[in-house]
Structure 1
Amino acid sequence: MENQFEFIAIEGVIGAGKTSLAKLLTERHNARLVLEQFKDNPFLPKFYEDRERYAFPTQMSFLASRFKQQQDMLSKDLFRQLTISDYIFEKDRIFARLNLEDDELALYDSIFEIMTGISAKPDLVIYLQSSVDRLMENIRQRDRNYERNISPSYLRELSEAYNHFFYHYNKSPLMIINTSEIDFISNEKHLDYIEEQIFEQPIRNNTHIHIIPDQL
């Protein structure tokens, strides 16, 4: 299977399956895997308990961590031509706009604008879109302690912010996959179809893949 990319980024709301898909595609293509280091953020559990109080330190910790990873990605891997990541740097601002107060957002933006200009640019962005019910179910199944306080209303708010962001996204070719009714983790046919659309079809802007489970 011929590869036309050097860097693919997979995005989606919490629980959409972006990390799982990144890992599966990495295994199939011997790629370099770059995962968001959310476990290293000491403020994240506190954020889900008190969103207003801990939004700013949580956001700044993520910004610093993500930028460090972006710099590392700019260096070539001699043994792997393809890099697959489970986030894009620009998405950091989705959470910032959603959670920060005006003065905090102004300070954040002054730093973010410098960093985003020298971050790695994906050859393709894959946005995994999903219903809030499916997101909640996925979150319940993986049962991370600090995610137990995530509410459907917060996920709905976040989903709307993501949809708005990717509706206007034009920095890289974008592929949108609705994952509400599919299971690429357990169903290999679903994964095969996604892989085929990514690697065997010509690169295009704003490609929307709608997978019908009964037809696969």
Structure 2
Amino acid sequence: MSELRYIAIEGVIGAGKSSLAQLLADKLKASLILEEFEENPFLQKFYDDRKRYAFQTQMFFLINRYKQQQQLKQQDLFASITVSDYIFDKDKIFAYLNLSKEELKLYEAIFPLLERDIPKPDLVIFLQASIDRLIFNIKKRGRSFEKNLTRQYLVELSEAYNNFFFKYSNTPLLIVNTSDIDFVNNENDFNELYSHIFREDRGFIEYFNPKLRG
């Protein structure tokens, strides 16, 4: 466990990133960093009209994530454990999915300048889930600004995430299939996942596919 001082959790909207981050932070008595999506004034408009508001939404998230990561950089990651519900690199997933060619040119000129000195996690946990499970989770939490999220957008986003992490090699990676488990409400599911995260023999890239208990 001692080598994991900075853990970041990723996944499509509704996969359970923030919930798992909170659970891990509580158990580890760790510092918690949550993405400040509610502060983005363009997000609701983006879900209503992706094409029109993609660039404003993207740039707000990029700058906000950068500021948050700079605060993380100033912390002593060796003195305490930190858990985050996103990685800075994920910004590119949304950019390439949503921005026009002209907008991407500007984005690609800015992103590398910000990326250079961002701290890297000791482990990234990528939560995969079926589209039906994502929709169920999104409806269950009932955020007003997510009411216009379409199934098609979730399909596109899920494919983009899968492609991104298929090629990902920046840090150790644990890919978890969450479609048939409930680590939020089922303590056994959480404990099984927790044990796998801190396995001493965990490989650099590893898949965890727990099955639904009867």
After TM superposition, the structure 1 = structure 2 runs for residues 1-216 of structure 1, keeping only pairs within 5 Å, are 2-77=1-76, 81-214=80-213
Alignment partners' CA distance in 1, 2:12 and 2:41? 20
1:32/1:80 contact within 8 Å kept: no
Alignment partners' CA distance in 2, 1:156 and 1:38? 21
DSSP 3-state at the match of 1:74: helix
TM-score computed with the length of structure 2 as normaliser: 0.97
Alignment partners' CA distance in 1, 2:90 and 2:16? 16
| Cα distance per residue 1:100-144 (max 9 Å; x no partner) | 000101101111011111111011000000000000000000011
The residue type equivalent to 2:47 in the other structure is Y
| Cα distance per residue 1:53-97 (max 9 Å; x no partner) | 000000000000000011111122589611000000001010000
Alignment partners' CA distance in 2, 1:34 and 1:58? 20
The residue type equivalent to 2:53 in the other structure is Y
Identical aligned pairs, as a percentage? 51
Alignment partners' CA distance in 2, 1:59 and 1:146? 16
TM-score computed with the length of structure 1 as normaliser: 0.96
2:70/2:118 contact within 8 Å kept: yes
Offset at 1:203? 4.2
Which runs of 5 or more structure 1 residues have no equivalent in the other structure? none
Alignment partners' CA distance in 2, 1:87 and 1:107? 23
Aligned-residue Cα RMSD (Å) equals 1.4
1:4/1:199 contact within 8 Å kept: no
DSSP 3-state at the match of 1:10: strand
Offset at 1:213? 2.2
2:5/2:77 contact within 8 Å kept: no
Alignment partners' CA distance in 2, 1:61 and 1:121? 22
Alignment partners' CA distance in 2, 1:49 and 1:12? 22
- Please identify runs of 4+ aligned residues in structure 1 that moved more than 4 A: 77-80
DSSP 3-state at the match of 1:97: helix
DSSP 3-state at the match of 1:119: coil
The alignment covers a number of residue pairs equal to 214
The residue type equivalent to 2:153 in the other structure is Y
